[in-house]
Structure 1
Amino acid sequence: MHDAAGELAAQGQMAVLGDATIVDRVGTQEAHRRRGLGNFVMRALADHAVDRGATLGVLGATDAGRALYETLGWTVQAPLAACVHRP
């Protein structure tokens, strides 16, 4: 989603795999926060997923993002740890 000047305001992506959808890279640019864009992006992704047969949604959330997701009915099932391994 872009603002009137064509700059990125909010974004999100998803992939439907069978009956599950994986939501990723949801975010709102700092200048556009607190305007409901994250809510709009998540609802648009959910509608798109349901139209494709998804009945389960999966995502990893930051602390800031989790607050939004919980207002939309998402629940925490397990904590997520960020790990990097470079053999």
Structure 2
Amino acid sequence: MVTAPDGSLAARGQIAPTGETAVVDRVETAPGHRRKGLGGVVVRTLQNAAVRQGAGTGVLAGTPAGRGLYEALGWEVVALPSSAKYGPPVSARA
């Protein structure tokens, strides 16, 4: 997490190394702090931490807005993300 001088959130992210693979999650930069390189700092920091823990491959599902950041850091798009939601059928809800 990167905080602004006033202590508020500037940027954040998390990573879960699972052996050889690490899953990047919830990378975000607050609107007032975008285009300052903080997203890159967060992702590089997460990548380095995962490599130190033995991961050789990183995976993530990014938004179109984040694609430029990830590609600039050497990530390769291998599939476009899709979204799905499951819930019980309306008839089963009471």
Superposition TM-score tier, normalisation by shorter sequence: over 0.9
Listed as ranges, the gaps of 5+ residues in structure 2 are 89-94
Amino acid in structure 1 at the alignment position of 2:6: A
Listed as ranges, the gaps of 5+ residues in structure 1 are none
Q: Which residue does 1:83 correspond to in 2?
A: 84
Instruction: Point out 4+ residue stretches in structure 1 off by more than 3 angstroms.
Output: none
Q: Which residue does 2:8 correspond to in 1?
A: 7
Give me the identity figure in percent.
Answer: 48
SS in 1 for 2:23: strand
How many residue pairs match? The answer is 87
State the Cα RMSD in Å.
Answer: 0.5
Alignment of 1:40-79 (within 5 A): 40-79=41-80
Instruction: For residues 8-48 of structure 1, give each alpha carbon's deviation from its aligned partner in whole angstroms, at most 9, with x where no partner exists.
Output: 00000010001100000001000000100000000000010
SS in 1 for 2:26: strand
TM-score (norm 2): 0.90
**Larger radius of gyration, structure 1 or 2?**
2
CA separation in 1, counterparts of 2:43 and 2:81? 20
SS in 1 for 2:15: strand
TM-superposed deviation, 1:82: 1.0
